[in-house]
Amino acid sequence: MSDTVTDSFASRVVRWQRTHGRHDLPWQQTRDAYRIWLSEIMLQQTQVATVGRYYERFIEAFPDVASLAAAPVGRVLELWSGLGYYRRAHHLHAAARKVVGRFDGRFPTDSVTLATLPGIGRSTAAAIAAFASHERCAILEGNAKRVIARHRGIEGWPGAPRVEAMLWREAERLLPARNRIGAYTQGMMDLGATICTRAKPRCAACPVAHDCVARREERVDRLPTPRPRKVLRHREVVVLLIEHGDRILLERRPPTGVWPGLLALPEIGVDDDVQSAVAKRTGVDAALIQHLSPITHAFTHFVLEMRPTRVVIDAPPRPMAESSFEWLARKANVCMALPAPIRRLLETD
């Protein structure tokens, strides 16, 4: 690819972004690396429309990296509740503490240092550096992958090492000069999110359509190549809605695994005895056991089928030695760090 073509691609993306791109997102009006980092982590696997309200709530609670680092991880999870992929929240907290401990609270703005922080990969580090310090480095998040794969006609699943390496080479070759890197980086994200979409792309409105290989060869609907399909394993559990008056029993999840560190309903196996499980957790017998309709929740590697069982106990529960259990008023769940399907279950039950 000639320098002329490379510059032409970047110039078209920059011009398009300045006229048609997104300019009113709450994290776009700053070069504060902390705020940019926060938005980039939230935007991983989450739609912009969803991130907005969470971002503003986080900034209000944690206006700088020091306040985030000083907060209990449980408080961070409470504010993250509903965004999903909770490992990101744990990494967010760990990275804030590392910035305070190792960099005296000054958030890095170069991609090499940024990539040493928990939860920040090569593309995220590049995006933060581009926006915060105009570092000339390539991004390769989902939107950029799709634009480059189609424009350059690169076949294969982008997650495959060989294909990803090809995409990175093209991403680096297409970069503009440093003074345009911010607009270009935002433009690649905007182009993939609003024009070069996964389904029904609007090629007629695309600024780089005239030399797009996928469009020329009528392969837009086949690129990028989808991830190879695999059968997700299925897991079934019974979740217990143990109630006493206006309180419900929740259990703090372990720091690793599914929904790490969040509060959730106690789980038992589908063949376990409900009465025995309730007695073990409360010290009293159930007065009412009611089986509710199953609900499912898909994770990346498996599908979880939850069989909710409502249990009412009349006698006061005995004090429990296990600190992972907490009795909470049902109305308090709105501000608790709860997984989204558990929150929905409690709100609709």
Active site residues per annotation: 40
Q: Which amino acid is at 250?
A: L
Residue keyed to tokens 């110039």: 11
Label the pairing between strands 233-244 and 247-252. antiparallel
C-alpha triplet 109, 113, 117: angle, nearest 5°: 105
Please state, in angstroms and rounded to a whole number, the distance separating the CA atoms of residues 270 and 208: 54
Which burial class, exposed, middle or buried, applies to 28 when counting CB atoms under 10 A from its CB (0-12, 13-18, 19+)? middle
Partners of residue 47 on adjacent β-strands: none
Prior bond of 224 cis (ω within 30°): yes
Please state, in angstroms and rounded to a whole number, the distance separating the CA atoms of residues 27 and 189: 14
Structure tokens at 107: 């958030």
Q: Where are the alpha helices (DSSP H) in 180-253?
A: 181-194, 213-216
Structure tokens at 112: 């090499």
Q: Do 131 and 182 form a contact (C-beta atoms < 8 A)?
A: yes
Please state, in angstroms and rounded to a whole number, the distance separating the CA atoms of residues 226 and 63: 39
Of the candidates 39, 175, 25, the one whose C-alpha atom is nearest the C-alpha of residue 107 is 39
Q: Within a 10 A sphere around the Cβ of 334, how many other Cβ atoms?
A: 11
Please state, in angstroms and rounded to a whole number, the distance separating the CA atoms of residues 249 and 235: 23
Of the candidates 347, 286, 279, 282, the one whose C-alpha atom is nearest the C-alpha of residue 311 is 286
C-alpha triplet 106, 121, 139: angle, nearest 5°: 100
Q: Do 252 and 263 form a contact (C-beta atoms < 8 A)?
A: yes
